[in-house]
């Protein structure tokens, strides 16, 4: 079939169809730009002067001969604020061209982008197995999982503990006690099972957003579970303080806490049919009670008495007058620091700390909280390794800039607080900050949280990137007299997708935080997001993250660098933990967070967990992996 037959009319009709198709596909983007009161300057991806159109016409011209982007010997460099990802074979720009997808990138952001893979060998993947999720069966049977997964992971001498939303599981870890990793010893069990017999809301209400940590400094497991339901008013119902006021001492939920330490409750095996029946019964009971009982919320803590994740555990409840969303526990010598958000529609955060030393002894403990207005999601420094910060050193707390609710989606700083706690006199506890540390400009990936950011093959459903916040964990590591902090968040990239922005900060003698190095990991285009970092005993940095895009189902990957490598580069080539096999189509919510954990047995192995979907699955699965960086031996730990 001859497409043009030497007629200019046919050529004109073809060009008109191309123009109308592009115009129609871009209408929504243009409308958004016009109504945002913000001028969007879209630079041309490329330009030239075309030959005479008749040069392309011949008797043998076929549709397959049309080349919108003729091959060239050298691709042009991406402009500093590219607004559309490029389709083609160029390994630096990746696949998935979308001429109408708006990607805002501030000037200067692209200067620190790493657009090539590391040239050194990848971190070694030493363990890989499925955690909780679709198809998982353990000693407690099966269950159904909510979105997002709220993935959390902790690793002890002989065990791995995972929490996924409102459930938990315990796995073997290869070593002195077990021959292999990944065998399920417990789960899936409701997180509240660790509070069985404690009474009150911690036992009665099974809530999501639970997080697990292993305190390697004391060989203890820490499980934190918020309660999002307003409880019946108490006799002395607390009143929420205000931003700028002194620390508020939380009211204990039980005057006799912690009481006797108890082992985790191990319920009998449950089938999916039995689980569905129990869920239906709970829903009926919920409908019979008021939507809000008018009282406060609470935060539940369980701290083990040793290194056995089955317990026993000391349990604590502290009353929270403000909504305790998105808790991010961090281990520090003088406390367990727990920042939370008071809601998605307010610009307010709660910075709390509980008395670690008292909890380790099973004694009555207290919790202190500050309220901070007009601030992004907070993270507190979490100790990797065994070398402690200097005695009395304040915990460092960080947040990104910008305010999504005010449509401020860019910034050029990371904001830092010093959290000093005084357990003897709470009136002397104080927050110093925020102090801005200038970094390369950034724009939230996907314009922030709860947005449609990451495309997927075969569906119009995009995934959320949580691009407005520093992700868990904010890692602290001391090696000799050098003290480092590593932070990560997700940003738009000049290649038209999203990348992992990472920083290493150093602390000076005055405990001031200074930027040491920074980079945005974005090789091959596409999207990398929702990362979690770790620092091993040699000072090497490893980062796990989600990977996906228009041509790749969302999965999990890992990259890193050695401590003496050139600054700003993840020099170790990327390694795949798991490839996605299908799109997630029922919701945009994706993970909300992932988590790394340093293995306390060798202080070198970095464990990581993240989501993916199996082919024909009705929900997400999770993949747990362990990585080792070159040069970090097996006998470095304590």
Residue 531 lies in a domain: yes
Q: Say if residue 72 is in the same domain as residue 133.
A: no
Q: Say if residue 40 is in the same domain as residue 147.
A: no
pLDDT at 94 over 80: no
pLDDT band of 279, cuts 50, 70, 90: confident
Q: Say if residue 412 is in the same domain as residue 533.
A: yes
pLDDT at 13 over 80: no
Number of domains observed in the structure of the chain:
2
Q: Say if residue 396 is in the same domain as residue 270.
A: yes
Residue 85 lies in a domain: yes
Residue 364 lies in a domain: yes
Q: Say if residue 178 is in the same domain as residue 88.
A: no
Domain that holds residue 95: 8-102
- Bridge partners, 443 (sequence order): 410
Per the confidence metrics, is the pTM higher than 0.75? yes
Q: Chain-wide mean pLDDT for the chain?
A: 86
Residue 3 lies in a domain: no
Q: Say if residue 152 is in the same domain as residue 43.
A: no
Strand, coil or helix: what is 577? strand
pLDDT band of 83, cuts 50, 70, 90: very low
Residue 415 lies in a domain: yes
Pick from 251-260, 266-275, 349-358, 542-551: least confident: 266-275
Which pLDDT value is given to residue 101?
60
Q: What is residue 385's DSSP assignment?
A: S
Query: For 500-525, how does the pLDDT look when each residue is reduced to its tens digit (9 = 90+)?
Result: 999 999 999 999 999 999 999 999 88
Instruction: Return contacts of 351-355, CB within 8 angstroms, 24+ apart.
Output: 351/378, 351/380, 351/397, 351/417, 351/419, 351/431, 352/250, 352/299, 353/395, 353/419, 353/421, 354/301, 354/316, 354/318, 355/423
Compare 5 and 245 and report the one with higher pLDDT. Answer: 245
Q: How many CA atoms lie within 13 A of 151 on its CB side?
A: 32
Average pLDDT over residues 614-623: 96
Which pLDDT value is given to residue 282?
80
Q: Report d(CA 216, CA 219) in Å as an integer.
A: 5
Pick from 24-38, 360-374, 440-454, 511-525: least confident: 24-38
Pick from 27-36, 337-346, 411-420: least confident: 27-36
Q: Say if residue 98 is in the same domain as residue 134.
A: no
With beta carbons less than 8 A apart as the criterion, state whether 191 and 225 touch.
Answer: yes
The Cβ of residue 9 has, within 10 Å, a number of other Cβ atoms equal to 9
pLDDT band of 635, cuts 50, 70, 90: low
Which pLDDT value is given to residue 42?
40
Which pLDDT value is given to residue 285?
78
Q: Say if residue 56 is in the same domain as residue 191.
A: no
**Nearest C-alpha neighbor of 503 from the set 404, 597, 632, 416:** 416
Query: For 362-414, how does the pLDDT look when each residue is reduced to its tens digit (9 = 90+)?
Result: 999 999 999 999 999 999 999 999 999 999 999 999 999 999 999 999 999 99
Q: Say if residue 320 is in the same domain as residue 431.
A: yes
Rounded to 5°, angle at Cα 311 from 332 and 309? 65
Q: Say if residue 57 is in the same domain as residue 177.
A: no
With beta carbons less than 8 A apart as the criterion, state whether 371 and 243 touch.
Answer: yes
Answer with the one of 102, 137, 171 that is the final residue of a domain.
Answer: 102
pLDDT at 249 over 60: yes
Compare 284 and 608 and report the one with higher pLDDT. Answer: 608
- Bridge partners, 317 (sequence order): 300
Residue 108 lies in a domain: no
Residue 275 lies in a domain: yes
Q: Say if residue 50 is in the same domain as residue 161.
A: no
Q: Say if residue 365 is in the same domain as residue 405.
A: yes
Residue 316 lies in a domain: yes
The distance in angstroms from the start CA to the end CA of the chain is 75
Instruction: Calculate the CA 416 to chain-centre distance.
Output: 19
């Amino acid at each position: 079939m001859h497409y043009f037959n030497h007629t200019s009319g046919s050529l004109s009709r073809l060009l008109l169809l191309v123009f109308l198709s592009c115009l129609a596909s871009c209408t929504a983007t243009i409308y958004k730009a016009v109504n945002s009161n913000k001028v969007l300057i879209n630079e041309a991806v490329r330009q030239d002067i075309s030959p005479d159109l008749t040069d392309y016409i011949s008797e043998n011209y076929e549709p397959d001969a049309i080349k919108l982007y003729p091959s060239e010997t050298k691709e042009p460099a991406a402009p500093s604020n590219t607004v559309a990802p490029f389709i083609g074979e160029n390994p630096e720009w990746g696949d998935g061209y979308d001429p109408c997808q708006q990607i805002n990138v501030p000037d200067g952001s692209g200067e620190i982008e790493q657009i090539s893979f590391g040239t050194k060998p990848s971190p070694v993947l030493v363990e890989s197995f499925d955690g909780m999720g679709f198809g998982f069966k353990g000693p407690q049977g099966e269950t159904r999982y909510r979105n997002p997964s709220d993935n959390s992971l902790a690793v002890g001498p002989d065990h791995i503990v995972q929490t996924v939303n409102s459930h938990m599981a315990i796995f073997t870890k290869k070593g002195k006690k077990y021959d292999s990793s990944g065998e399920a010893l417990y789960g899936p069990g409701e997180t509240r099972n660790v509070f069985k017999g404690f009474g009150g809301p911690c036992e009665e209400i099974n809530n999501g957003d639970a997080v697990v940590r292993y305190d390697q400094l004391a060989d203890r497991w820490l499980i934190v579970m918020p309660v999002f339901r307003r409880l019946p008013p108490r006799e002395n119902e607390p009143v929420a303080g205000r931003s700028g006021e002194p620390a508020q001492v939380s009211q204990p939920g039980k005057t006799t806490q912690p009481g006797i330490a108890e082992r985790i409750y191990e319920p009998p095996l449950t089938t999916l049919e039995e689980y569905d029946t129990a869920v239906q019964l709970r829903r009926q009971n919920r409908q019979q009670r008021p939507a809000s009982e008018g009282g406060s919320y609470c935060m539940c803590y369980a701290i083990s008495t040793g290194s056995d994740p089955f317990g026993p555990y000391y349990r604590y409840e502290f009353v929270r007058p403000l909504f305790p969303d998105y808790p991010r526990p961090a281990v520090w010598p003088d406390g367990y620091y727990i920042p939370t958000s008071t809601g998605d529609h307010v610009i307010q955060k709660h910075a709390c700390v509980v008395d670690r030393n008292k909890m380790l002894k099973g004694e009555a403990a207290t919790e202190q909280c500050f309220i901070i207005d007009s601030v992004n999601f907070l993270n507190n420094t979490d100790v990797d390794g065994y070398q402690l910060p200097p005695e009395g050193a304040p915990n460092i707390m960080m947040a990104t800039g910008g305010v999504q609710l005010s449509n401020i989606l860019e910034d050029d700083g990371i904001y830092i607080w010093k959290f000093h706690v005084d357990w003897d006199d709470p009136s002397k506890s104080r927050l110093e900050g925020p102090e801005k540390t200038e970094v390369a400009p950034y724009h939230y990936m996907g314009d922030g949280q709860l947005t449609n950011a990451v495309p997927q093959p075969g569906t119009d459903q995009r995934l959320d990137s949580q691009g407005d916040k520093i992700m868990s964990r904010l890692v602290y590591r001391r090696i000799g007299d050098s003290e480092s902090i590593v932070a990560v968040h997700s940003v738009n990239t000049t290649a038209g997708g999203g990348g992992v922005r990472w920083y290493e900060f150093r602390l000076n003698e005055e405990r001031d935080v200074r930027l040491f190095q920074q980079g945005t990991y974005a090789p091959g285009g596409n999207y990398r997001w929702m990362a979690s970092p770790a620092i091993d005993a040699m000072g090497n940095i490893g980062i796990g993250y989600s990977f996906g895009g228009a041509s790749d189902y969302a999965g999990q990957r890992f990259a890193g660098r050695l401590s003496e490598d050139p600054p700003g580069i993840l020099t170790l080539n990327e390694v795949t933990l798991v490839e996605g096999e299908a799109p997630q189509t029922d919701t945009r919510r994706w993970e909300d967070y992932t988590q790394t954990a340093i293995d306390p047995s060798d202080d070198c192995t970095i464990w990581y967990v993240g989501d993916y979907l199996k082919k024909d699955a009705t929900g997400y699965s999770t993949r747990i992996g362990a990585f080792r960086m070159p040069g970090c031996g097996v006998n470095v730990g304590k």
